Structure 1
Amino acid sequence: MEVSRISSKGQVTIPKAIRERLNLEEGDKVAFIEENGKIIITKSSVVALKEFLNTMSKEAESKGVTEEDLLKDLENVREEMWNERKK
């Protein structure tokens, strides 16, 4: 467990060991998620991806698209891409 102090401006330094484990670099954006009285900090790209997947899942469900349909379409796209590369 790592500990950090909140500055008078509300800033918190993410300890170096955690930044390294999560591959956080200067300029990266992070998202703060409050959940059950805890704060979760994650790369904002991870949050954006989860939100995108959740939105797409709901959209597919509303249109009656099944996981099987998606997997079949994915296989077709892979095959098309493979055939294009072989040309």
Structure 2
Amino acid sequence: MSNQQVQVFILHLGPQQSIGPGDLRVMWATACESTDIAVSRRSTGNGHTTGRPCFSLWAGRQFHRVPAERRMRALLEARGFLFTLTHTAL
């Protein structure tokens, strides 16, 4: 990686929806038009119940947020995902 990566979005998918890390990584790299990206997943459950997973989308500091967000939303919608995509501070 040429740049330090920062978390730029948090993605929640709709109930009963999931995506594999490889698919998400490809979609995010396509949206950012860069391979200087990363994705991570964490469960939002409290230990007794399984909550919806939350995905963090990471990019290098030089990425362009607005076009990347627009492309990512289009890619998710094209695959039929119900989702929220929340900005995080840079």
Please tell me the TM-score bracket, short chain as reference.
under 0.3
Question: Which structure shows the higher helix fraction?
Answer: 1
**Which structure has the larger Rg?**
1
TM-score normalized by the length of structure 1: 0.23
Question: Which structure shows the higher strand fraction?
Answer: 2
| More contact order relative to length (CA 8 Å, sep ≥ 6) | 2
